[in-house]
Chains A and B, each alone.
Chain A
Amino acid sequence: DAGVTQSPTHLIKTRGQHVTLRCSPISGHKSVSWYQQVLGQGPQFIFQYYEKEERGRGNFPDRFSARQFPNYSSELNVNALLLGDSALYLCASSLEQGQETQYFGPGTRLLVL
């Protein structure tokens, strides 16, 4: 079975631009979470979506938004990019919301110049 997939794998943007990152969860998984991982640090929680609704949000500005589609795939949008947004963006899926483990995709490496 396919694991979590993310696209694109790498992306270069300039300050002020916006970006859309995509994630397809493991088949049958209904919950998707997004994380930002800056080089040398652990992942930081951005959002969790379950059944197409936002169920949790981390300490990130409103420039960050996301949505989940009926097929449980998800998009993360970042507007007005800043240099500090350069990071590996990870998507994780889990079967249900609640006491379940999560599985990560390979990430999208975003570089903001």
Chain B
Amino acid sequence: GQQLNQSPQSMFIQEGEDVSMNCTSSSIFNTWLWYKQEPGEGPVLLIALYKAGELTSNGRLTAQFGITRKDSFLNISASIPSDVGIYFCAGRRGTYKYIFGTGTRLKVLA
């Protein structure tokens, strides 16, 4: 099935470092969501974006809706060990179908 491209695929970082990841598509979306998933759990919504250019923060997380509407970015500042997990972007086109990215696996070294 169709999936959005996320990069990097995985990353190891030191505690306290900032993290950046992005999600790209060949198609335009009208909503972008960012989720975090931990082993054995369902994805948990982190941030939702509804307008091109929108910049939204949730604590140490900041996400942006790309102005072309074909990409989105997520930044995590001052990472901590509990940030470990898989981060998924999801784009929505129309009223019901979300297409998910391939995921970015984050590991934080204390």
Segment at the interface with B among A14-22, A77-85, A101-109: A101-109
The stretch among B57-65, B77-85, B98-106 that forms the contact with chain A is B98-106
Is B95 close to A, CB under 8 A? yes
Q: What 1/0 flags go to B4-44 for Cβ under 8 Å of A?
A: 10000000000000000000000000110101000011111
Proximity bits, A40-56, B CB within 8 Å = 1, else 0: 01111100101000011
A41 to B1: give the CA distance in the assembly, Å.
10
In the complex, A90 has a CB within 8 A of chain B:
yes
- CB-nearest residue of chain A to B41: A106
Give the residue of A31, A104, A109 whose beta carbon is less than 8 angstroms from that of B43. A104
- Number of A interface residues, CB 8 Å? 29
B100 close to A104 (CB less than 8 A): no
Question: Quick check: A45 and B95 within 8 Å, CB to CB?
Answer: no
A49 CB, min distance to chain B CBs, angstroms:
9
Are A48 and B100 also in contact (CB < 8 A) when A99-B50, A101-B33, A103-B45 are?
no
- Residues in chain B near residue A55, CB distance under 8 A: 95-96
B50 touching A43 by the CB < 8 A rule?
A: no
A101 touches B99 (CB 8 A): no
> A42 and B88: CB pair below 8 A?
yes
Is A98's beta carbon under 8 Å from chain B?
A: yes
The reply to whether B42 and A104 contact each other, CB–CB distance below 8 Å, is yes
Question: In the assembled complex, how far is the CB of residue B37 from the closest CB belonging to chain A, in whole angstroms?
Answer: 9
A41→B9 CA distance, assembly (Å): 11
Chain A residues, CB < 8 A from B30: 99
Inter-chain contact B45/A42, CB cutoff 8 Å: no
Query: Would you call B48 and A107 a contact (CB within 8 A)?
Result: no
- Once the chains are docked, how many angstroms separate the CA of A104 from the CA of B44? 7
A28 at the interface (CB under 8 A from B): no
In the bound complex, do residue A42 and residue B97 qualify as a contact, i.e. CB atoms below 8 Å apart?
A: no
CB distance from B7 to the nearest CB of A (A): 14
Pick the contact of B97: A56, A99, A106 (CB < 8 A): A56
